[in-house]
Chains A and B, each alone.
Chain A
Amino acid sequence: AQSVTQLGSHVSVSEGALVLLRCNYSSSVPPYLFWYVQYPNQGLQLLLKYTSAATLVKGINGFEAEFKKSETSFHLTKPSAHMSDAAEYFCAVTMNSGYSTLTFGKGTMLLVSP
């Protein structure tokens, strides 16, 4: 079965520092991978997605992620954190269910300090 592991339930960075949020997946078939962001009291918003084209994917708000098949990873990065990046981030992988369903990780809360 497909699964997603996000390392670290909380990550703290200073404003201007590099953001690195880790995501590892397991999948029996080539996966599609997604990163979503959830701001306080809101639903989830798509940041970026990997759908078997370029392995380096650029998303909104300066975020990007690299698909590494050999490491089964899809880590999310941003060169310079901004206070407005404080939110919860979810990695998701497609399920091999025959339906268009996703399996989500448990989430990583990003805290940005001035």
Chain B
Amino acid sequence: DVKVTQSSRYLVKRTGEKVFLECVQDMDHENMFWYRQDPGLGLRLIYFSYDVKMKEKGDIPEGYSVSREKKERFSLILESASTNQTSMYLCASSFGHSYEQYFGPGTRLTVT
């Protein structure tokens, strides 16, 4: 079975802190994705990566950056956390040209 793990299930941070969310997949997938999920808004794509060191902006990249130094790991970085970044963050991965994505359990981030 494909396994996508996220470093924390729950995280509480203060405004202005730098926040790292880590995602690891164990199936040698080329593509990795970061979404945020908010009630009534569904999933919105923040960033994705189709190869090591490659990244592309999604629909809402403002306030976020990403890093992919190894194929299995994709990090989401909040350079200076703000309260409007309080949300559920979901990581996903997929094979090269496959659209079928496998999701991690999510990290619920609260910024106070």
Contacts and interface: CB of A to CB of B under 8 A. Distances in A.
7 closest Cβ contacts across the A-B interface? A43-B103, A106-B42, A104-B43, A44-B103, A43-B105, A104-B42, A107-B42
B86 to A, nearest CB: 17
B56 interface: yes
- Majority secondary structure, A binding face: loop
Interface in A26-45: 32, 34, 36, 41-45
Interface string B17-32: 0000000000000010
A101 B90 CA distance: 14
28 contacts: A32-B99, A34-B99, A34-B100, A41-B105, A42-B105, A42-B106, A43-B90, A43-B104, A43-B105, A44-B90, A44-B101, A44-B103, A45-B103, A46-B102, A49-B99, A51-B99, A90-B42, A90-B43, A99-B31, A99-B50, A100-B31, A100-B94, A100-B96, A100-B97, A101-B48, A102-B101, A104-B42, A106-B41
Interface in B14-58: 31, 33, 35, 40-45, 48, 50, 56, 58
B98 interface: yes
A67 B97 CA distance: 22
Task: Using C-beta atoms within 8 Å of the partner chain, give the interface range for chain A.
Answer: 20 to 34
B105 A46 contact: no
